[in-house]
Structure 1
């Protein structure tokens, strides 16, 4: 079987892995962070599993069976869960953001060693610092629009984007605000009376970053 013919089967296998990884991740989060109220409702769990599985398929098609793939699968799994928590609780828990940063750095370091791509790892570190500082400045200027959770999240996202290239950092950071603005308008139209500051920005940051990862070569 050729590599091209095997790729859909590989993507399907990792999609199934995503379906299984999502509920397992939710159990781990519920046990380690009981203050968040335990497991979400069955409909939410089905939705998060479906989204995680779909992202695993798309990322497998994007990277193939490469040393880079595990890092971005981790990004997808935690992106779905952190987005869920941000929407439900307006909170991006520090332990999960730190896990995304630390575990992601470890997996990207492994990828850089196997590829090898040490320049990509240095660029990832620089991307983390640049996007973090950019969000920090905006957060200090407009604390009502950007929360400190969003500022902290910018570091791991900048790392993942930076590993792929400077254009990924630029477009991922920029589109985060564009997607966030569109989502805010939609939420305000659907839920009258809600304040713009109450709209979760984390999902927009993840959507922009993963979209750039998938679509920008």
Structure 2
């Protein structure tokens, strides 16, 4: 299967999975709207990026189901500033189970160990940030970081580091752009949901992690 074929298959699978997004969003009544018009195209685009980057990899087994969950969490966080445990922990359990199957099929226990270590390190780092400055980060972000740290860690340290850093970078740049467009420096102090930026950063880590890391290391 070529990368283009993998991108198409992954986009189709994620678009179909996005049909469940309204059901996930409904778990948080304050986030519910009558329609979710962006869920399918956003999920399809994310799936295409993942499939096109990784090709016919068994890691798609746990990454693709995570896409519609991520879309739902992004919508919920954007509307309520909440990342509900009732969605995050079951999703984490599913990712661990499917990643274990992937590692078994690929005979790659090292990837599973790296995923567990990456999840623990990222979770502890985010927990420390939350503990130091709880007003700047919700604990839902800490929980989500464990899930994303596991998924990215399975792929490699480059994906993990670039993905996590990318979330903070996109968040900072977006805040600056908003303040610039509004011509209001106070916008830099406004509270914005961090979850969507974590998810975008994770996607960037998958797509660009190895290339960015190689450039940084080799110069």
Cα distance in 2 for residues equivalent to 1:139 and 1:53: 32
Q: 2:133 aligns with which of 142, 157, 160?
A: 142
Query: Secondary structure in 1 aligned to 2:136?
Result: coil
Query: Secondary structure in 2 aligned to 1:24?
Result: helix
How far off is 1:74 after superposition? 1.9
Cα distance in 1 for residues equivalent to 2:117 and 2:154: 9
Q: 1:19 aligns with which of 2, 9, 15?
A: 15
1:216 aligns with 2:212: no
Query: Secondary structure in 1 aligned to 2:37?
Result: helix
Paired residues in the alignment total 208
* Structure 1 unaligned regions, length at least 5: none
Question: Would you say the 8 A contact 2:25–2:75 is kept in 1?
Answer: no
RMSD (Å), alpha carbons: 2.1
Q: Are the structure 2 counterparts of residues 181 and 133 from structure 1 closer, same or farther at C-alpha, using a change threshold of 3 Å?
A: same
How far off is 1:28 after superposition? 4.4
1:35 aligns with 2:29: yes
Q: TM-score, normalised by structure 1?
A: 0.86
Query: Secondary structure in 2 aligned to 1:46?
Result: coil
1:126 aligns with 2:117: yes
How far off is 1:20 after superposition? 2.3
CA offset digits 1:68-123 (Å, max 9, x no partner): 11211122221111111110111101111112211111111110000011011011
Cα distance in 2 for residues equivalent to 1:91 and 1:187: 21
Match of 2:103 in 1: 112
Q: TM-score, normalised by structure 2?
A: 0.85
Cα distance in 2 for residues equivalent to 1:188 and 1:97: 31
Cα distance in 2 for residues equivalent to 1:179 and 1:208: 7
